[in-house]
Amino acid sequence: MSVPIANPDRTRIGWIGTGVMGSAMCGHLLKGGYRCTVYNRSRSKAEALLAAGATWADSPKRVAEVSDIVFTIVGYPNDVREVILGPDGVLAGLPTNGVVVDMTTSEPSLAIEIAKAAAARGCHALDAPVSGGDVGAREARLSIMIGGEPDIVAAVMPCFQLMGKTIVHHGGPGAGQHAKMTNQILIASTMIGVCEGLLYAYRAGLDLEKVIESVASGAAGSWSISNLGPRIIQNRFEPGFYVEHLIKDLGIAIKEAKQMGLVLPGLALAEQLYLAVAACGHARSGTHALQIALARLSGIDWLNRK
């Protein structure tokens, strides 16, 4: 079975999940001329898309019934299972030869299960988690990591190109999720370094803005220090990516690593530190809220520092 290359003139898009990331990503498809039907558990979070021309549907199944390609980006693997494999989910309504693209960071094994279930219905599935946070989503600069069949990736590519800048096909079903687990391991460990470095600079009495200016362009430079470092020193801990979602991701990575016989002590430490961040009441803050918890260990009230 072949799938036509996505085209705004003929391809109907479905979108499920209009949170911090999903709303901006779907917005780029609307601006690209695609007709989009959307669903979210809280309709209020879809109002901006509806105002921009999207159509509302009352369930994932209904979205799928009027779509050729359905994108999902929800919170947890259980949510993915419900909106795609559930009795009122995408695969219950997707037409033959339709495509479901899950952009949630989820379990590689679930991506494989979805691909098999889609094939059994004469449909197709891709796993395509993203990295780049809220800024990358708004500016269409996401890194998109894809698993699935090459011809289906090619068919959906025009849509991916409206949402991301770095688009890489890693292999068959589940490969995109494995690539995202690699990303999350790197993100979590890097954030520990960013927060500890800024904490050290603060205690040493340095100007934190000048510190970021000095290190961001050198060997210690990273996306996190350049994009989240300024938020940390401004006490802006609103989420680009929720702490509770990173904890979910690290749990998946630990499970996968164990199955592969890998010993990753840094990953285990990162999970424990982020559990501490959540325990401090910041589960719904951005991942850079790690700064608050690490500062507390040194007796520093980061939010009220002078």
Active site residues: 180
Any idea what DSSP says for residue 95? P
Q: In sequence order, what are the residues at sequence separation of 6 or more whose Cβ sits closer than 8 angstroms to the Cβ of residue 68?
A: 6, 11, 12, 13, 95, 98, 99
Nearest alpha-carbon partner for 189 in 262, 77, 297, 287? 287
- State phi, psi for 10 to the nearest 5 degrees: -135, -15
Any idea what DSSP says for residue 83? I
- Number of Cβ within 10 Å of residue 181's Cβ equals 24
- Number of Cβ within 10 Å of residue 150's Cβ equals 11
Rounded to an integer, what distance in angstroms lies between the CA atom of residue 172 and that of residue 146? 8
DSSP result, 106-160: --HHHHHHHHHHHHHTT-EEEE--EESHHHHHHTT-EEEEEES-HHHHHHHHHHH
Q: Kindly compute the dihedral angle of the four CA atoms of residues 287, 290, 293, 299, in this order, to the nearest 10 degrees.
A: -150
The answer to whether the beta carbons of residues 277 and 243 sit under 8 Å apart is yes
The answer to whether the beta carbons of residues 152 and 175 sit under 8 Å apart is no
Q: Which amino acid is at 1?
A: M
- Residue 72 sits at the vertex; the CA angle it makes with 66 and 76, to the nearest 5 degrees, is 145
Any idea what DSSP says for residue 238? -
Q: Which amino acid is at 271?
A: E
